A and B are shown apart, each in its own frame.
Chain A
Amino acid sequence: MRRLLALLLLACAFCPLMAKEAPYLAQDPAVEKRLIDISEEMRCLVCQNESLAASQADLAKDLRQELREQIKAGKSDAEIRDFMVSRYGDFVLYRPPVKSTTWLLWLGPFVGMLCGLIALAFFLRSRRRDIQAAPSTLTAEELKTAEQLMQDGSK
């Protein structure tokens, strides 16, 4: 292994013109970055467990190409999302749109958190009051016995 490596390095040293800085795979890295940002939040319809950015399915490659062209044509993120949703439905978006059917989804956690914390505060307060208000459960006889025992114990 080492020898092979040394030979390779030697070979490379003799042809510096062949080695160069690797070009980006994408034609336009800026467009590509925006494509990845948008398509990462979309589901691949064929390999439904992968994002549109990651999937190697043919349809995903076609769609990425389509989106690339739309980005180059100057379409906004919202327009591109609409393009996809009008053809494939909300299912294609990993970030569920905020509409009446998703209010529970988006607001639920925060409302739940507030309610939970407030409810706990109230509960703790009422619990303290309940404990303090509870009458002593020992009868007078038992109280005397308890006091006697405590006196005996401390001797």
Chain B
Amino acid sequence: MIPELGHFALILALCIAALQGTLLLRGADTGRREWMVLARPSAQAHFLLMLLSFAALAYSFIAKDFSVLYVAEHSNSQLPLIYRFGATWGGHEGSLLLWVFLLSTWSVAVAQFSRTLDERMVARVIGVLGLVSLGLILFILFTSNPFTRLLPGAPDGQDLNPMLQDPGLVFHPPMLYMGYVGFSVAFAFAIAALLAGRLDAAWARWSRPWTTLAWIFLTLGIALGSWWAYYTLGWGGWWFWDPVENASFMPWLVGTALLHSLIVTDKRGSFKNWTVLLAISAFSLSLLGTFLVRSGVLTSVHAFATDPRRGVFILILLALVVGSSLALFAWRAPKVTMGGSFGMFSRESLLLYGNVLLIVAASSVLLGTLYPLLVDALNLGKISVGPPYFNTIFVPIMAPAVVLLALVPLARWKSAEWQPIVQRLWPALLAGVIAAVIIPLWIGHWTWLIALGVFLAVWVAGSTVLQLGRRLQSGNPPVAFWAMQVAHLGIAVFVFGVTMVGGYQEEKDVRMAPGDTTLVGGYQFKLNGVDQVQGPNYQAFRGQFEVSKNGQVSRILNPEKRTYASSSMPMTNAAIDAGFSRDVYVSLGEPLEGQAWAVRVYYKPFVDWIWGGCLFMALGGILAMFDRRYRLKVKPQDYATA
């Protein structure tokens, strides 16, 4: 009964979305108030229906309803409650339902927080979001229905992939999707502005907080995914340039460019076309990512079960949404007026150079991700493009951007000079160079790459400190200033973490019998023994390791080798001792003769700074949301009707 309710609610939500896509947009075009006022109530209704639908699916999981095919495929009677809930989005169908549910959440939020926005604009924004929703719900209903029944019901489910039975499942996808889907708001604002034929600084001001919020979620979502992969796969890697990872990283890069471009458009009314194009591109990349993950076009560890029919559907959806947006852009963009003038060297121009670098980076990631497909489609053979490629091209493109980001806050709007900037920042430059030379030498291994990383991190951190020092001298700076500094500092922390771990991590594969010890990164590991333990739905071998430094025992680590009832492949659960300046990581390999085990031990210096840096960036974003400039009340009469 419940699944059918959920199914029905989804169909009703489809109808609401269809109404939004037609009445609201037409109403805004023709000025029919009785249609435009449907914006807010329709968004609320849509949200409630999607909530009902999603809740119905979640309930089916929690209640172990194996007569629903999707539940039977992804759950099990022994699965703990929290993972039964998370399994709702553990597969293709459910994760799409989550996608649309979150879209409805963003939509109702926009409807709620736009009381002072011109009703035409609101109608258009909700209308566009409705159209996107329409397309995706159609996709779900026709090709990926999670409510399909399995009759007769299965006695038990096939179980959730053991890899996903982890807290990471509960947080990473929702957070990531909030970001992914959140860029639809900036997209909707951009389309609404193009439809109105009115692109101005006020539009940018409205888009900024929504874009910032989506960006925060995406930053956290990607960081969570990276951290999850790190502690769960047993290999200590944190980024693989896998197509699906790239699919989330490209919107992030474009989103970052968009955030900064919106600043220029908001403050100076300039580069409106560019900003609009970025807003369209960020969401288009989100949709493209959705396509890549679910169509089977690329091999990926994240790819859902693929079906060419689904691929065709999403491709058509992608073509319609992005194609019509870009066509609308091509039509309206020439009519947009130019904004204020500014110098060749000014904060505006520097922000734009940064934009170019970010877009080139995103395009390069796109090129690398799609190149195997390109070559295959042209019958030129089959190649792979993996981490060696991405690492080689990403660093040279982003390094100048990181250098730039320390300078930009010091450049004045409209026209700046480089001498005062150098005067202010030379200590940071000097500190960066000295650190780049000294620190790697002190640790014991110097390479150009490590030196570059150290330089960039210290340069940005130094610049932040200098700017804070200067600004605090003349009173309390606005929240926006703190936000910027915290976010940029996050970049410095991130770069430092990546450099240290990449340059100085140590790993050892050893054969350990109970009582044996091994030394890695200055830490001694001693295996006390390996026991057998029973989990809720698995059996495991659990090792007990004593970690000590200088004779002092600091931690006991318990890595496990689990065999789940549902899968024959054993899962490695590494044990990590996380610290401020390093992680110490142990994972069990294969059992060997004589009570011994193959053990892999890692020493990872500053690895947590990678995600710490991401947290700082997200924090910077959160602070930016509190800026009082966003509380600016735009009175309805300030907006001439378009």
Within the complex, are A and B direct neighbours (CB within 8 Å)? yes
A82 and B598 CA atoms in complex are apart in Å by 31
Known contacts A22-B510, A124-B344, A128-B344: does B360 contact A113 (CB below 8 Å)?
yes
* Interface: A138 (CB within 8 A): no
Q: With a CB–CB cut-off of 8 A, which chain A residues contact B381?
A: 89-90, 101
Please give me the residue from chain B that is nearest to A128 by CB atom: B341
Decide: B386 and A43 in contact? CB cutoff 8 A.
yes
- Residue A135, interface by CB 8 Å: no
Given contacts A22-B510, A116-B360, contact A49 B352 (CB under 8 A): no
Q: Is the CB of B397 within 8 A of A113?
A: yes
Contacts of A21 in B (CB 8 A): 516-519
Contact among B235, B357, B389 with A105 in the assembled complex (CB-CB below 8 Å): B389
Q: How far is the CA of A104 from the CA of B375 in the complex (A)?
A: 11
Specify which chain B residues have a CB less than 8 angstroms from the CB of A15 in the assembled complex: 515
B517 contacts A89, CB within 8 Å? no
| Interface positions of A from 107 to 134, Cβ below 8 Å from B | 108-110, 112-113, 116-117, 120-121, 124-125, 127-128, 130-132
- Asked whether B393 lies within 8 Å of A120 as measured between CB atoms, the reply is no
- B364 contacts A95, CB within 8 Å? no
Q: Which residues of B contact A121 (CB under 8 A)?
A: 344
B356 contacts which chain A residues (CB < 8 A)?
113, 116-117, 120
Q: Is the CB of A92 within 8 A of B384?
A: yes
The answer, yes or no, to whether B368 is at the interface (CB within 8 Å) is yes
Q: In the complex, given contacts A49-B301, A93-B383, A109-B360, what are 18 additional A-B residue pairs having Cβ atoms less than 8 angstroms apart?
A: A18-B515, A22-B513, A22-B518, A23-B510, A25-B589, A92-B384, A96-B383, A96-B389, A104-B367, A105-B368, A105-B385, A106-B389, A109-B367, A112-B364, A113-B396, A120-B353, A124-B352, A131-B341
B273-322 with Cβ < 8 A to chain A = 299-301
Query: Which residues of the partner chain A approach B508 to less than 8 Å between Cβ atoms?
Result: 24
- 0/1 interface trace, chain B 362-392, chain A, CB 8 Å (1 if under): 0110011001000100001111111111000
CB distance from A104 to the nearest CB of B (A): 8
Q: Which of A22, A51, A91 contacts B599 (CB 8 A)?
A: A22
Are B383 and A90 within 8 A (Cβ)?
yes
A26 cross-chain contacts in B, Cβ below 8 A: 509
Chain B: number of interface residues, binned into ranges: 35 or more
Q: Is B212 an interface residue (CB 8 A)?
A: no
CB-CB under 8 A for A91 and B359, given A22-B510, A120-B353, A124-B344: no
Would you call A108 and B353 a contact (CB within 8 A)? no
Query: Is A150 in the interface zone, CB < 8 Å from B?
Result: no
Residue B63 lies at the interface, judged by CB distance under 8 Å to chain A: no
Q: Which B residues lie at the A interface, using CB under 8 A?
A: 235, 242, 299-301, 338, 341-344, 349, 352-353, 356-357, 359-360, 363-364, 367-368, 371, 375, 380-389, 393, 396-397, 508-513, 515-519, 526-529, 544, 556, 589, 598-599
Residue in contact with A127 in the complex, picked from B338, B389, B513, B556, CB distance below 8 Å: B338
Question: Is A65 an interface position by the 8 A CB rule?
Answer: no
Which of B343, B384, B589 touches A91 (beta carbons < 8 Å)? B384
Contacts of A12 in B (CB 8 A): 515, 528
Kindly list chain A residues whose C-beta atoms are within 8 Å of the C-beta of B375.
101-102
User: Quick check: A131 and B338 within 8 Å, CB to CB?
Assistant: yes
List the A residue with the shortest CB-CB distance to B356.
A116
Assembled-state Cα–Cα distance A43/B383 (Å): 10
- Does A145 belong to the interface (CB within 8 Å)? no
Number of A-B pairs whose CB atoms are under 8 Å? 143
A119 CB, nearest partner CB in chain B, Å: 8
Complex formed: what's the CA distance from A48 to B298 in Å? 11
Query: Main SS of the interface on chain B?
Result: mixed
Chain B residues whose C-beta falls within 8 Å of the C-beta of A108 in the assembled complex: 364, 367
- A83 interfacial contact with B, CB 8 Å: no
Report the Cα distance A112→B589, complex, angstroms: 45
Other-chain residue from A5, A51, A96, A112 in contact with B556 (beta carbon distance below 8 A): A5
Whether A109 and B341, one on each chain, are in contact in the complex, defined by CB atoms closer than 8 angstroms, is: no
B531 to A, closest residue via Cβ: A4
Q: Determine if B300 and A112 form an interchain contact, defined as CB atoms under 8 angstroms apart.
A: no
Contacts of B396 on A, CB cut-off 8 Å? 110, 113
- Give 17 pairs: A residue, B residue, CB < 8 Å, sorted on A: A12-B515, A18-B515, A19-B526, A20-B516, A22-B511, A24-B508, A24-B509, A24-B511, A25-B511, A48-B299, A50-B301, A91-B384, A94-B389, A102-B371, A108-B364, A113-B357, A128-B342
Q: Is the CB of A117 within 8 A of B509?
A: no
State how many angstroms separate the Cβ of B403 from the closest Cβ of chain A: 13
Judging by beta carbons under 8 Å apart, are B352 and A95 in contact? no
Q: Which one of A22, A43, A90, A132 has the greatest number of beta carbons of chain B within 10 Å?
A: A22
User: What is the distance, in angstroms, from B530's C-beta to the closest C-beta of chain A?
Assistant: 12
The one of A43, A105, A110 that contacts B371, using a Cβ cutoff of 8 Å: A105
Contact of A5 among B382, B518, B528 (CB under 8 A): B528
Chain A residue contacts of B509, Cβ below 8 A:
24-26, 32
The listed residue (B371, B393, B510, B513) touching A25 by CB distance below 8 A is B510
- The answer to whether A109 and B393 touch (CB under 8 A), given A127-B338, A128-B344, is yes
Roughly how many angstroms separate A51 CA and B233 CA in the complex, as a whole number? Answer: 13
Residue from A90, A127, A131 in contact with B382 in the complex, judged by beta carbons closer than 8 Å: A90
Q: Which 9 A-B pairs have the closest CB atoms?
A: A94-B386, A95-B388, A19-B515, A49-B301, A109-B364, A22-B510, A22-B516, A22-B518, A131-B341
- The minimal Cβ–Cβ distance linking A26 to chain B, given in whole angstroms, is 6
Q: Tell me, in angstroms, the Cα distance from A71 to B224 when the chains sit together.
A: 39
Chain A: minimal CB distance from B213 (Å): 29
Which residues from chain A contact B301 at a C-beta distance below 8 Å? 49-50
Contact call B397/A109, Cβ cutoff below 8 A: yes
Q: How far is the CA of A80 from the CA of B517 in the complex (A)?
A: 35
Give CA–CA (A116, B130) in the complex, Å.
Answer: 35
Complex contacts, A113 vs chain B, CB 8 Å: 356-357, 360, 396-397
B510: A residues at CB distance < 8 A: 22-25
In the complex formed, the residue of B with least CB distance to A118 is B356
In the bound complex, residues from chain B placing their C-beta under 8 Å from that of A48 are 299
Residues from chain A with a CB closer than 8 A to the CB of B352 are 120, 124
Q: Answer whether A94 and B360 are a contact pair too, CB < 8 Å, given A23-B510, A110-B393, A128-B341.
A: no
CA distance A108 to B393 in the complex (A): 10
**How distant is the Cα of A21 from the Cα of B338 in the complex, in angstroms?**
72
Of chain B, the residue at the smallest CB distance from A15 is B515
Write the chain A residue with the least CB distance to B601.
A22
- Bound complex: CA of A94 vs CA of B383, how far in Å? 8
Known: A110-B396, A117-B353, A117-B356. A23 touches B511 (CB 8 A): yes
Whether A8 is near chain B, meaning CB under 8 Å from some CB there, is yes
- Minimum CB–CB distance from A44 to chain B (whole Å) comes to 11
